[in-house]
Amino acid sequence: MRPTVRILGLLLVAGPLMAQEKQVIGVRPPNPSATAPAQPARLSPAIRVGNLLWVSGQLGLPPSDSTGAANGITEQTTRSLEKTKRLVEEAGTTMDRAVKCTVFLSNIAEFQRMNEAYVTFFPKDPPTRSTVGVSALASPTAMVEIECMFAMPAGAK
């Protein structure tokens, strides 16, 4: 395909998307409590533009325990996708609208056990998925991080 045709195609698809407002989902006001965990990074938990929703990578660590040392891959996968589910519902959609997920595993040998927990969140028509083995995640005890993209239902606010 010629470069000009590719560029025109990209503009036809991306142009309307870029013209739409960006809506941040899941940002909470800072907690003045002295026991509140520090925000590890500046990021938006989820962003909606038009009929697309991107959910940032969710670690499977509990909010009150940044070490996660007592949690196995099954628990961390479940917790990661529960966090995703809360953001998705806050945005006005459901997990069955997922179109693409990327799973980052600190130990690729845990793939099967991760997958057993993962499939319970997508029992019908699962999204496309990439699974990548990585040397480390943002927290030293994190075993999994999952990011997903969703198609919002027509007319969703």
Task: Tell me the average pLDDT across 53-81.
Answer: 84
For residues 79 and 98, give the distance between their C-alpha atoms in angstroms, rounded to a whole number.
17
- Which pLDDT tens digit goes with each residue over 33-63? 444 455 555 789 999 999 999 999 999 988 7
Query: What's the pTM value of the predicted model, to 2 decimals?
Result: 0.78
- Which pLDDT tens digit goes with each residue over 15-39? 555 557 889 998 765 554 444 455 5
Residue 13 in this model has a pLDDT that exceeds 90: no
The pairing of strands 128-133 and 98-105 is parallel
Please give the DSSP secondary-structure letter assigned to residue 20: S
Task: Tell me which of 1.10.3720.10, 3.30.1330.40, 3.20.20.70, 3.40.1640.10 is the CATH number of domain 45-157.
Answer: 3.30.1330.40
Predicted confidence band of residue 69 (pLDDT cuts 50, 70, 90): low
For the chain, the helix, strand and coil percentages under 3-state DSSP, each to the nearest 5: 35, 25, 45
Please give the DSSP secondary-structure letter assigned to residue 150: E
Name which residue leads in pLDDT, 56 or 12. Answer: 56
Please give the DSSP secondary-structure letter assigned to residue 154: T
For residues 79 and 114, give the distance between their C-alpha atoms in angstroms, rounded to a whole number.
11
